Amino acid sequence: MSYKSYLKLTTVIFTTVLMSYPVAAQDLTSGVAVSVPVSTEIFNKEDIFGKILSYDSGTFAVATSEYDPSMYGVVVRNPVISLQDTSLDESLLVVSQGTAYVTASNTNGNIYEGDFITSSSNSGIAQLATRSGTILGVALEDLVYDNS
């Protein structure tokens, strides 16, 4: 199994995903990112950017199940627009509608333009959706891993 960091994504749980290699100039997102409170454990993770967060019972957490119906959005680093709650000590900016980078894997196979993307059982990682269920977006670019 391979992982690809920071694939470009347009989210709104049921929207569009654009996947590309990260370049410093492309590190911005479109859409509005909002700050959400997270646990110290999540806040201190170095690789949290590009991960999928879920919201359940008043708590934001990294998505850990396939087709998670509680998917909220993707953690972003440099949004174009953000609404931050400065009263929160530990918060992350999350885009739930707009373009952002998401981390994805080939767990369910290679991803091609137009394929549906969803959460996986790998913590915060997106994957190809191969059955009915909640999706995160639609691929706008191929994500193909060469097995050679």
Q: How far is CA 108 from CA 46, 105, 117, 139, in A?
A: 26, 8, 10, 14
Q: CA nearest 52: which of 76, 32, 28?
A: 76
Query: For residue 65, what are its two tokens?
Result: 């199940």
The total of structural domains in the chain comes to: 1
pLDDT at res. 98 = 79
Domain contains 146: no
Round the average pLDDT of the chain to a whole number and report it.
82
pLDDT above 80: residue 4? no
Residue 40 within a domain: yes
The residue count of the chain comes to: 148
Question: Domain range holding 62?
Answer: 3-138
What pTM was estimated for this model as a whole?
0.80
Mean pLDDT in residue range 49-54 = 94
CA distance 145 to 31: 29
Residue 10 lies in a domain: yes
